[in-house]
Structure 1
Amino acid sequence: MDENLRKILSEPFGPVLSSKDAVMKIMEQRHPLLICIGDESLHKMLSYGIMPDICVYDKMVKRKSAPKEWIEEIEKAFKGKKIIKVKNLAGEITDKLIVDIKNCIKNKKGIIEVEGEEDLAALPSLANAPAGTLILYGQPDAGIVFLEVNEKGKKRAEELLEKIKKAN
């Protein structure tokens, strides 16, 4: 992936919130789906008593193992539920991950555990989720990005997915 594309992808696609009050205020609004990507975002949502409809995580935070307590919390929350496992390398989005995300969106629920890296999973989520869906993902050292799906965002995600595919 070239530096220009990497720079674009490192910028948040929506407002970044770090306080519980700000998060809870947004969560009061109705959304057709809530998609949470990343262990830190998922940990925060679970600690606030919020269970996303769709979760994508990899048991890693900033390329290191997520804290043991977070992993235990996630495993407890998902106990007895079907977990889809998929491999995905850093800087890539595999066709399998895209298909799994599409299926979860179609079913309006799902848990995807990624072996490798889930950092770019927001793009296929944005490209495929219905308008009004709320996508949450972590912005390193800043907070959680809150991205509400709209047509402009979907088009941008599709264009970026195409660029990533060409780069790989």
Structure 2
Amino acid sequence: MKSLKKQRRIQIISVAVVALVLATALIGFAFKDGINLFRSPTQVVEDPPRKGEVFRIGGLVLEGSLVRGTGTAVTFSVTDTTTDIPVRFTGVLPDLFEENQGMIGTGTLQDGVFVASEILAKHDETYMPKEVVDALKDQGVFQPSADPE
């Protein structure tokens, strides 16, 4: 009788462990494509992403690089003041997107050009994405704007 209870307990624990391992594997698989790592232009040049890897790039829109093509096609360069990466985007840009302003794009690197599927821009005159601020600080060129008060 005791060995039957012991055997049943071992079976339940075994099933629970298998279920836990399976759930962890499924969660890891689901996150594999959902996590986009942020990189500055210098990091992209120093350690190029794998072919087809989706990642986020951020920096400042290089002055004089914004070219609006036919329809919704746009090309520009993103810089961290050390390195520039050309960007190609087809779609509607945010209203506050302009040269010399912070931006973050999500996409892939194709033949040295970042092909963006999404572009995010600052939302007011003092905001800059944290990742962009950190990258600019690493380059030693970040200058915080004056407090509006």
TM-score in terms of structure 1 length: 0.27
Give the structure, 1 or 2, with the largest relative contact order (CA under 8 Å, sep 6 or more).
Answer: 1
- Larger helix proportion of the pair: 1
Structure number with greater Rg is 2
TM-score in terms of structure 2 length: 0.29
